Amino acid sequence: MVESILSKLTQTIIDCHVHINAYESLTNLSLKERIESLNNAMQVNNVDQAIIISSYKINEERPSTKHILEAVEKYENIKVVAGYSITNHNEAFIKEYKEYLKIGKLKGLKIYPGYEHYYPYDPGYKKIIDLCTEFDVPLMIHTGDTYTPTGKIRFAHPMNVDDVAVDNPDLKIIICHLGNPWFLDCQEVIYKNKNVYADISGLVLGDFTEFYEKYLVGKITDFLNYAGEPKYLLYGTDWPISSMKSYLNFVSKLDLNDQERNLLMYENSKRLFRL
C-alpha cells in the first residue's frame, strides 16, 4: 500500500513538522526511544528528512531544545526547530538559541499563539522575530485549533500573522496547519504577503477518514487556485499526532503535476530551511 502511494509522489520527501513529545504512540518512552520511533516511521514511509519542533514548555514529557539536539546528533536526516514561549522561556533561552543558530544547529524557531495567550505580533516575540531575520531562518507560527482545550484560539487566528508579515518584510513566516479551520483567511494572508508560507501539518488526529480526506483535498485545491501556485505550501504531518502513512495517502490525492508535487513535498522546505 505504501509503495503504491509513494509511486505517485516525489521520491524525495521532507516532513517539516514532527514532534517527539511523550504523547500518542510515544507515551512512556525515553527520549532516545522516541527518536528511534521517529526514525523507524520515516524509514517505513520513505521519508528522507524530518524536522522536529520543540515545545513551548519543558517538562518530563516535553524535552528541551538542548536535549533534542543532543539526542539527534547521530541522525543526519533529522533537524530541529526550537519552540519559544513568552511565558516559559527567558533571555537565557534567546541567547542559547542565538548560539545554536550561529553554528547552524537550528533550522528555525517556532511560537505558539493560542497555546499561550499572546498574539503573534506581541512585543514579547520581537527578539525571536529578530533572530529569525538575522540568521535567515523561518519563523513557524501555530495557527488554528489547539490540541488542548486550554488554548484560546482567538490568539491563533491566521489573520494575526498579517501584522507580523507587514511589519517584518524580510522575515520568512510559515503558518502552521493552514490556519485550520480558517483556510480562506490563511489563503488571503499568503496571497497578500510574499514572505508568508504554510505547512499542511496537523489537519487530522490519527488517520484521515474518507469524508474528511475528500473535504481537505477540496480545501487545498481551493487554496492553490487562489494563491496561484504551490510554492507557498510545505509538506508536514504533525507526527505522532497524525499518521505519516495516512498523510502520504492524502497528498497522493492532490491533483498536482510532478513539478508542483516536488515543490510541496521537498523543494519548498529545502529552500526555506536551507537543508
184: how many CB neighbours lie within 10 A of its CB?
Answer: 13
Residue 56 · residue 116 · CB < 8 Å: yes
Q: What is the pLDDT of residues 253-265, one digit of tens each?
A: 999 989 999 999 9
Q: Identify the structural domains of the chain with CATH numbers, from first to last.
A: 2-273 (3.20.20.140)
Measure CA 228 to chain center. 22
- Of 101, 103, 54, the closest CA to residue 78 belongs to 54
Q: What is the pLDDT of residues 220-251, one digit of tens each?
A: 988 888 876 778 999 999 999 999 999 999 99
pLDDT band at 188 (very low <50, low <70, confident <90, very high): very high
Sign of CA dihedral 263, 191, 239, 65: positive
Question: Does the model's pTM come out above 0.75?
Answer: yes
pLDDT at position 9 over 60: no
The whole-number pLDDT of residue 2 equals: 53
Residues 207-231 have a mean pLDDT of 88
Q: What is the pLDDT of residues 115-166, one digit of tens each?
A: 999 999 999 999 999 999 999 999 999 999 998 889 999 999 999 999 999 9
Residue 28 · residue 84 · CB < 8 Å: no
- Mean of all residue pLDDT scores within the chain: 93
